[in-house]
């Protein structure tokens, strides 16, 4: 019997600079000849790197990837602030940063590491009353997004490069979902009293999907292919738990099982190696979070 997911999968794109995430999705729709394409986690046009896309039923899985940790390599310019907190905006201030020492930079970075409250950039994709913040800004409206808790697991300084009055700081960041690297650049500049913005950003990983999995768009256009099947993606992203034939059938119908003492989300795999669902214990039930192979397919 043909697998109902044979035309579904995950594509990890190495997004080029200058394209929106929506642009990438539009290209993938053409490459794979389907409208059922989506992405997990927007990348700004300036940014490059890992963009996880779903094809077919893979689109239903994307919401579960969005919550995963992210890893970025970035360059922060100290001495200039911009309207967008990155190089795409207009410069709003220029301050001589040459007196800022390496030690001050390291102290500032340390203060932005760990569990912090972060105020997203006003030109983010966060929705306010049904409209994205950056759309409201373009309409000339004032946008004030409340600070939210995020976790910066690692904020490493890789290099400090001085250019007359400006300083470029190359950093490597491992952070929780919802973190804005532009906001880190802005807040570091504010803390040092000289302003700051992001001049380069490359996403190296979304959860367990890395640049090693990523394919340039030009290669996908020449030979469209999945980076991972739905099964490979779920087995990579979550711990696996085996289920028997009856349990497999029950989960395919969205039914719950008896608890097993599992912590967190697991991929339920049948004897044939196929994943039937993502499952999670909720109270006294082992319930489905996402059914990969519903009995109706």
Question: For the chain, what is the mean pLDDT?
Answer: 91
Q: Are residues 181 and 108 in the same domain?
A: yes
Say which CATH number the domain at 20 has: 3.30.2350.10
Instruction: Indicate whether 200 belongs to any domain.
Output: no
Q: Are residues 94 and 112 in the same domain?
A: yes
Q: Are residues 287 and 245 in the same domain?
A: yes
pLDDT of residue 212: 97
Instruction: Indicate whether 90 belongs to any domain.
Output: yes
- 222-278 pLDDT tens trace: 999 999 999 999 999 999 999 999 999 999 999 999 998 999 999 999 999 999 999
Instruction: Indicate whether 297 belongs to any domain.
Output: no
For residue 218, with 0-12 CB atoms within 10 Å meaning exposed, 13-18 middle and 19 or more buried, which class applies? exposed
pLDDT at 123 over 80: no
Per DSSP bridges, beta strands 240-242 and 266-269 are parallel
Q: pTM of the prediction?
A: 0.90
From the list 44, 85, 187, 231, the catalytic residue is 44
pLDDT of residue 163: 93
For residue 143, name the pLDDT band (cuts at 50, 70, 90): low
- 1-34 pLDDT tens trace: 567 788 899 999 999 999 999 999 999 999 999 9
Domain that holds residue 45: 9-68+207-230
> What is the average per-residue pLDDT within 43-63?
93
Measured CA to CA, the distance from residue 221 to residue 223 in angstroms comes to 6
| Catalytic annotation present for 44 | yes
pLDDT of residue 110: 98
pLDDT of residue 132: 60
């Amino acid at each position: 019997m043909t697998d109902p997911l044979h035309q579904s999968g995950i594509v990890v794109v190495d997004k080029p600079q200058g394209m929106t995430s929506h642009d990438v999705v539009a290209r993938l729709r053409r490459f794979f000849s389907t409208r059922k394409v989506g992405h997990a986690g927007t990348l700004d046009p300036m940014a490059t790197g890992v963009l996880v896309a779903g094809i077919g039923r893979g689109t239903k899985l994307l919401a579960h990837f969005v919550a995963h940790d992210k890893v970025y390599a970035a360059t922060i310019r100290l001495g200039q602030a911009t309207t967008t907190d990155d190089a795409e905006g207009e410069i709003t201030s220029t301050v001589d940063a040459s007196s800022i020492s390496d030690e001050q930079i390291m102290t500032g970075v340390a203060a932005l590491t760990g569990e912090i409250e972060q105020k997203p950039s006003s030109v983010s994709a966060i929705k306010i009353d049904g409209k994205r913040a950056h759309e409201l800004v373009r309409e000339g409206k004032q946008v004030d997004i409340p600070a939210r808790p995020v976790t910066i697991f690692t904020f490493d300084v890789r290099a400090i490069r001085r250019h007359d009055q400006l300083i470029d700081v190359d950093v490597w960041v491992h952070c929780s979902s919802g973190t804005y690297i532009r906001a880190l650049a802005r807040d570091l500049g504010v803390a040092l009293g000289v302003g700051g913005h992001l001049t380069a950003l490359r996403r190296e990983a979304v959860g367990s999907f890395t640049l090693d999995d990523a394919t340039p768009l030009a290669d996908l256009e020449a030979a469209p292919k999945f980076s991972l099947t739905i099964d490979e993606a779920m087995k990579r992203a979550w711990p696996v738990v085996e289920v028997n034939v009856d349990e497999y059938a029950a989960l395919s119908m969205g039914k719950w099982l008896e608890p097993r003492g599992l912590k967190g989300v697991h991929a339920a795999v049948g004897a044939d190696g196929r994943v039937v669902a993502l499952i999670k214990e909720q109270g006294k039930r082992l319930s489905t979070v996402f059914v990969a192979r519903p009995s109706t397919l």
